[in-house]
């Protein structure tokens, strides 16, 4: 099966994101095992991870605020999508918000599970994932209007770190019994 030009563009963004993910997360684990999450007790781990998750939640706040501001300024959209036919701008902002919400919920859940499950030496992967999330959301947001290929790296930098952390949690649980 031959890929279309759009599929090749998406694949390029996804592969690029995987390379960045591996370098950043492995580097964080290898180079900063106690610098990013300096405490070993669960309460301290959660506290440190929640601080890093400000980088995750700020994007949900920005997406909600962007759509709300647009609706307030646009008479056709002020009553909301449930009561009107949304403008193209509102549709794009709603799509970005929806995707951001999905990614934030997944990231926060996986980050909290990671705090409870991962060995201390692997915990720097969580702040690395939060930084990648923020970078990914920026790229996703900027690239959204230009199509799937333009937003693919941003999407992948938001999604794949959550998948990688989840896989690390499963590996840790299997490994430690």
Kindly state whether residue 113 falls inside one of the protein's structural domains: yes
> Looking at the domain assignment, is residue 71 inside a domain?
yes
Cα end-to-end span (Å), the chain: 42
Hey, what are 88's tokens?
């193209």
Please give the residue range of the domain that contains residue 163. Answer: 41-176
pTM confidence score: 0.92
Q: What is the pLDDT of residues 5-31, one digit of tens each?
A: 999 999 999 999 999 999 999 999 888
CATH number of domain containing 100: 1.20.120.550
13 is a domain residue: no
Q: How many domains does the chain have?
A: 1
2 φ, ψ (degrees, to nearest 5): -85, 140
Q: What is the pLDDT of residues 132-149, one digit of tens each?
A: 999 999 999 999 999 999
């Amino acid at each position: 099966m031959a890929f279309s030009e759009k599929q090749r563009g998406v694949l390029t963004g996804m592969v690029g994101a995987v390379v960045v993910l591996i370098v950043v997360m492995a580097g964080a684990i290898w180079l900063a095992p106690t610098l990013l999450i300096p405490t070993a007790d669960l309460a301290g781990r959660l506290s440190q991870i929640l601080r890093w998750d400000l980088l995750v939640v700020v994007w949900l706040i920005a997406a909600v605020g962007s759509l709300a501001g647009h609706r307030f300024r646009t008479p056709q959209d002020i009553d909301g999508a449930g009561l009107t036919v949304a403008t193209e701008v509102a549709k794009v902002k709603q799509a970005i918000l929806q995707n951001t919400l999905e990614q934030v919920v997944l990231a926060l859940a996986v980050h909290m599970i990671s705090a409870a499950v991962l060995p201390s030496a692997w915990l720097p992967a969580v702040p690395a994932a939060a930084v990648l999330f923020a970078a990914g959301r920026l790229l996703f947001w900027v690239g959204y209007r230009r199509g799937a290929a333009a937003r693919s790296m941003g999407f992948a930098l938001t999604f794949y770190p959550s998948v990688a952390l989840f896989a690390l949690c499963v590996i840790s649980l299997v490994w430690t019994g």
